[in-house]
């Protein structure tokens, strides 16, 4: 029996077909011919992409409900998007992670850079959390989960269908157990000598941020015998790493009481609870209160959520990053360190670094940049897609 013919979608004459041929993985809605037939394609369906001269270019996923209407899946026009196809992509990704990490705690799939557009998979030992943030993966979640279990051997898979990215794809929010049984307690995650507690069912994103791993490690070098302030700490990212590196004390600040409770559990599991404290509340309010109290620390880290998630709010976001730097700088002892982070892909490094430097200057402090850090090697970058390089951490000495 012959396979059904795939629908065909075509680039507009003004579209940059060379970018697609050279590896760019997306087509925006204003670069595609959106006639009645294209608009009628089911979100997530596979199609053949042609250039304006009707030359076939790639096998793609189509979502007429998204601004990113086309995502490139495979350059092989004869590829079949089945469980075996998923398994091949997962196997390639797994081989890289197993080479660089001794234990199975890492980001296994980093979307386009690992050949699965819009898909994020974080692994927590025998449990994996999948975020199918694109329609094509959402409608094939069972296929993806089956391949994931076959390739990695994990017994539990959680589907985390929450977040802004799914809304942009016209997808609903849902968190469910896709295979196995939901963990009854937070999962202990060893990283940089620290122990983190990941709530994979109710925490932020997948339950833990693996991307800062190398920056936590660099911060450890600065933290021996130091007093450390970790603002926007989540489950204790920088503060627990600092304690594992010999910090004298660490104070974690976050707006989420459940996140701070998990951070405390991590400190207890590490045996450093006597050197660890938390303050729950708005980060800006807490920074203001610490300044009023005249508090100072050897190392201050601010790792906020994305203040500039899109170019539309870039200037507002940069002002927020400047404000963080201005409020945090006075809390750093002379000769101490200020670590400022951004996970906003719209705020590229030079803009973020300049905003941070302005804030430090407005606080009356002078600074050296001693290190710039990025996401770890389990968060590979797709060279043609700037958005995959979202994280930057700038280490200042004041």
- Output the domain CATH number for residue 87: 3.30.750.80
Q: Are residues 205 and 155 in the same domain?
A: no
Express as a percent the part of the chain with pLDDT over 70. 99
Which of 140-149, 183-192, 199-208, 286-295 has the weakest average pLDDT?
A: 199-208
Res 4: pLDDT: 61
Q: Are residues 290 and 378 in the same domain?
A: yes
> What average pLDDT does the segment 148-166 reach?
94
* Euclidean distance between CA atoms 240 and 130, whole angstroms: 26
Looking at the domain assignment, is residue 352 inside a domain? yes
Looking at the domain assignment, is residue 390 inside a domain? yes
Res 40: pLDDT: 95
Res 388: pLDDT: 73
Nearest CA among 156, 187, 183, 211 for reference residue 269:
187
Please count the structural domains in the chain.
Answer: 3
Catalytic status, residue 343: yes
Res 1: pLDDT: 38
Looking at the domain assignment, is residue 127 inside a domain? yes
* Euclidean distance between CA atoms 127 and 178, whole angstroms: 11
Q: Are residues 34 and 66 in the same domain?
A: yes
Q: Which of 17, 93, 247, 343 is catalytic?
A: 343
- Decide which of 179, 202, 223 is a domain's last residue: 179
- Decide which of 56, 74, 92 is a domain's last residue: 74
Q: Are residues 172 and 147 in the same domain?
A: yes
Q: Using one digit for the tens of pLDDT, what is the confidence trace for 163-217?
A: 888 988 999 998 999 999 999 999 999 999 999 999 999 867 788 999 999 999 9
Res 2: pLDDT: 42
Q: Are residues 62 and 156 in the same domain?
A: no
Query: Does the pLDDT value for residue 386 go beyond 90?
Result: no
Res 196: pLDDT: 98
Q: Are residues 40 and 56 in the same domain?
A: yes
Looking at the domain assignment, is residue 268 inside a domain? yes
Looking at the domain assignment, is residue 1 inside a domain? no
Residues 6 or more apart whose CB falls under 8 angstroms from that of 141 comprise 130, 132, 159, 178
Q: Are residues 145 and 91 in the same domain?
A: yes
Q: Are residues 123 and 223 in the same domain?
A: no
Strands 127-132 and 227-231 come out as unpaired
Which of 106-115, 170-179, 343-352, 383-392 has the weakest average pLDDT?
A: 383-392
Could you tell me the CATH number of the domain that includes residue 20?
2.30.130.10
Looking at the domain assignment, is residue 2 inside a domain? no
Q: Are residues 283 and 305 in the same domain?
A: yes
Looking at the domain assignment, is residue 69 inside a domain? yes
Q: Are residues 273 and 331 in the same domain?
A: yes
Looking at the domain assignment, is residue 221 inside a domain? yes
Q: Using one digit for the tens of pLDDT, what is the confidence trace for 235-246?
A: 999 999 999 999
**Higher pLDDT pick, 386 / 182:** 182
Could you tell me the CATH number of the domain that includes residue 250?
3.40.50.150
- Decide which of 144, 179, 214 is a domain's last residue: 179
Domain membership of residue 161 as a residue range: 83-179
Q: Using one digit for the tens of pLDDT, what is the confidence trace for 99-136?
A: 999 999 999 999 999 999 999 999 999 999 999 999 99
Query: Does the pLDDT value for residue 382 go beyond 90?
Result: yes
Q: Is the pTM of this model over 0.85?
A: yes
Query: Does the pLDDT value for residue 223 go beyond 60?
Result: yes
Q: At what angle do helices 237-244 and 257-270 cross, to 10 degrees?
A: 10
Res 162: pLDDT: 86
155, 126 contact by CB (below 8 A): yes
Q: Are residues 21 and 131 in the same domain?
A: no
Q: Are residues 312 and 222 in the same domain?
A: yes
What SS3 string covers 88-142?
HHHHHHHHHHHHHCCCCEEEEEEHHHHCCCCEEEEEECCEEEEEECCHHHHCCHH
Mean of per-residue pLDDT scores for the chain = 95
38, 62 contact by CB (below 8 A): yes
> What average pLDDT does the segment 66-91 reach?
97
């Amino acid at each position: 029996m012959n396979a059904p013919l795939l629908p065909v979608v075509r680039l507009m004459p003004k579209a940059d077909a060379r970018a697609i041929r050279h590896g760019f993985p997306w087509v925006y809605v204003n670069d595609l011919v959106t006639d009645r037939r294209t608009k009628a394609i089911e979100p997530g369906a596979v199609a053949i992409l042609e250039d304006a001269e009707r030359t076939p270019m790639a096998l793609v996923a189509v979502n007429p409900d998204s601004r990113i209407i086309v995502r490139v899946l495979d350059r092989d026009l004869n590829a079949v998007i089945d469980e075996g196809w998923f398994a091949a992509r997962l196997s390639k990704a797994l081989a890289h992670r197993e080479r660089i990490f001794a234990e199975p705690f890492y980001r296994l799939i980093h979307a386009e850079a690992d050949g699965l557009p819009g898909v994020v998979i974080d692994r927590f030992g025998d449990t994996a959390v999948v975020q199918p943030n694109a329609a094509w993966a959402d409608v094939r979640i069972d296929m993806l989960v089956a391949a994931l279990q076959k390739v990695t051997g994990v017994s539990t898979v959680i589907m985390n269908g929450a977040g802004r990215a799914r809304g942009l794809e016209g997808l609903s929010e849902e968190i469910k157990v896709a295979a196995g049984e939901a963990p009854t307690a937070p999962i202990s995650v060893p990283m940089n000598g620290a122990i983190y507690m990941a709530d994979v069912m109710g925490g932020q994103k997948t339950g833990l941020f693996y991307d800062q791993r190398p920056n936590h490690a660099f911060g450890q070098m600065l933290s021996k015998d130091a007093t450390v302030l970790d603002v926007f700490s989540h489950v204790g990212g920088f503060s627990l790493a600092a304690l594992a590196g010999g910090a004298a004390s660490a104070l974690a600040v976050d707006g989420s009481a459940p996140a701070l409770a998990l951070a405390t559990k991590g400190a207890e599991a590490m045996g450093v609870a006597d050197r660890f404290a938390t303050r729950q509340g708005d980060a800006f309010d807490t920074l203001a209160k610490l300044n009023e109290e005249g508090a100072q620390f050897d190392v201050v880290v601010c790792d906020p959520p994305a203040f500039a998630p899109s170019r539309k709010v870039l200037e507002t976001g940069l002002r927020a990053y400047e404000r963080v730097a201005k409020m945090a700088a006075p809390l750093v002892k002379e000769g101490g360190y200020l670590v400022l982070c951004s996970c906003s892909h719209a705020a590229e490094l030079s803009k973020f670094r300049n905003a941070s430097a302005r804030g430090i200057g407005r606080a009356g402090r002078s600074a050296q940049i001693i290190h710039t850090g990025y996401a770890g090697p389990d968060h590979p970058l797709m060279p043609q897609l700037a958005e995959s390089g979202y994280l930057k951490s700038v280490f200042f000495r004041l």
